[in-house]
Amino acid sequence: MADEKQYDIVVVGGGPGGLTAGMYGARANMKTVVVERYQPGGQIANTAEVEDYPGFEHIAGAELAMKMADHARKFGLEVVSDEVVEIRSEGESRKVAVGAGGTTYVGKAMVVCTGGSPVLLHVPGEKEFAGKGVSYCAICDGAFFRGQVIAVVGGGDAAVEEAMFLTKFGSKVIVIHRRDRLRAQKVIQQRAFANPKLVFIWDSVVEKVNGDAKVRSLTLKNVKTGEHSTLEVGAVFVFIGFHPNTAMLPKEVAKNDRGYVITDFKMETSVPGIFACGDVRDQLVRQITNAVGDGTTAAMAAVYRIEKIGG
Ligand code: NAP
């Protein structure tokens, strides 16, 4: 018989939102588990430096994640490593998360903090050279390209911040953006324009990633002139957005037109007893602070639901 484990609150996803939800659940004396497929921390585990989390002027993302997990465990939170492949709502107060290995985590309430995944370029060569010069994580892979020319695709906060981080390693970092102005916040743009190792190629898209055993060049197209060119690079880092990880959710959970989970002010989804927090919800800004706030609300709303407090 498949392994079934009983909890009060099951949190799916161990990023800042999930760890916070787990902490508040455990602190409210609920038997609480966070089920995380990789290591706790989610995206911040791969973020070089965090400088906008109150109380920490500078902290490595992985260190902040570790601190959050340790802190939550002190209140009795259990953190397990498993990939949730299916979430079900079975009646009023039986929510089930099915792990890839067959374990089911049963809770009276569930908090889904599954975040999202990077958007891919979907051009020839991208898949073929993934891990051989095509990357979506500067902190993971930047150091492999010391002294080389590094390309970054995108014009949002992520692209520009990661490009700046990559200047630690690259002889030059070239940001390729499809328009003639950045989407990134002004304060981030100012820092980027002042960085002598950062160069911008405007109005251009990557049409192909070329190489042999590794990436050697990119075929670019200028979207205004239609001209093609070849840019020699040692690596290309893609930061063109993000999509929410919702595949494991029951179809009854309502989503908006961009696929993000819709919640009310309690972070409760359209399925009673299933809450959502962090990047899996649509956010104006996807910051650690948002996720942490959502996690607090979701956990406490779950506690109130279980204890039948409030409406
Ligand atoms: P984003 O803000 O959606 O930016 C995506 C960028 O990629 C845009 O510049 C977009 O171009 C470009 N793009 C999209 N599809 C493309 C394609 N197929 N080919 C080429 N370029 C493409 O995404 P993000 O930078 O990942 O940021 C997401 C959220 O996280 C934002 O809310 C952001 O504020 C937040 N964030 C904040 C920080 C921070 O404050 N420190 C750091 C990272 C992320 P267009 O501009 O033309 O649309």
Q: Please indicate whether residue 141 or residue 124 has the higher confidence score (pLDDT).
A: 124
Domain match, 53 and 188 both: no
Domain match, 177 and 77 both: no
Domain assignment present for 140: yes
Domain match, 101 and 76 both: yes
Domain assignment present for 97: yes
Residue at a domain's end among 199, 223, 238:
238
Give residue-wise pLDDT tens across range 78-95.
Answer: 999 999 999 999 999 999
Helix spans in 101-239 (H): 138-141, 157-166, 186-193
Domain match, 175 and 228 both: yes
Mutate to test the pocket of ligand 1, among 137, 153, 157, 205 (most ligand atoms within 8 A of CB): 157
The reply to whether ligand 1 has any atom less than 6 angstroms from the CB of 2 is no
Domain match, 178 and 266 both: no
Spatial distance between the Cα atoms of 83 and 127, rounded to a whole number of angstroms: 23
Structurally, how many domains does the chain consist of? 2
Residue 119 alpha carbon, nearest atom of ligand 1: 15
113 is catalytic: no
Spatial distance between the Cα atoms of 162 and 169, rounded to a whole number of angstroms: 12
Give residue-wise pLDDT tens across range 182-223.
Answer: 999 999 999 999 999 999 999 999 999 999 999 999 999 999
Range of the domain at 162: 134-238
Domain match, 193 and 227 both: yes
Question: How much is the mean pLDDT over the chain?
Answer: 95
Q: If you take atom 41 of ligand 1, which residue's CA is the nearest one?
A: 157
pLDDT for res 309: 75
277 is catalytic: no
Whether 99 and 82 have beta carbons less than 8 Å apart is answered as yes
Domain assignment present for 64: yes
Domain match, 227 and 294 both: no
Whether 22 and 79 have beta carbons less than 8 Å apart is answered as yes
Domain match, 12 and 104 both: yes
**CATH code for position 200:** 3.50.50.60
pLDDT for res 112: 98
**pTM, rounded to two decimals:** 0.77
Domain match, 113 and 7 both: yes
Give residue-wise pLDDT tens across range 52-82.
Answer: 899 999 999 899 999 999 999 999 999 999 9
Residue at a domain's end among 223, 238, 253:
238
Question: What is the separation, in whole angstroms, between the first and last Cα of the chain?
Answer: 38
Q: Which of 274, 278, 268 is closest to 248 using CA atoms?
A: 274
**Strand extents, DSSP E, 159-260:** 172-176, 198-201, 204-211, 215-222, 228-232, 235-238, 242-244
Give residue-wise pLDDT tens across range 224-261.
Answer: 999 999 999 999 999 999 899 999 999 999 999 989 99
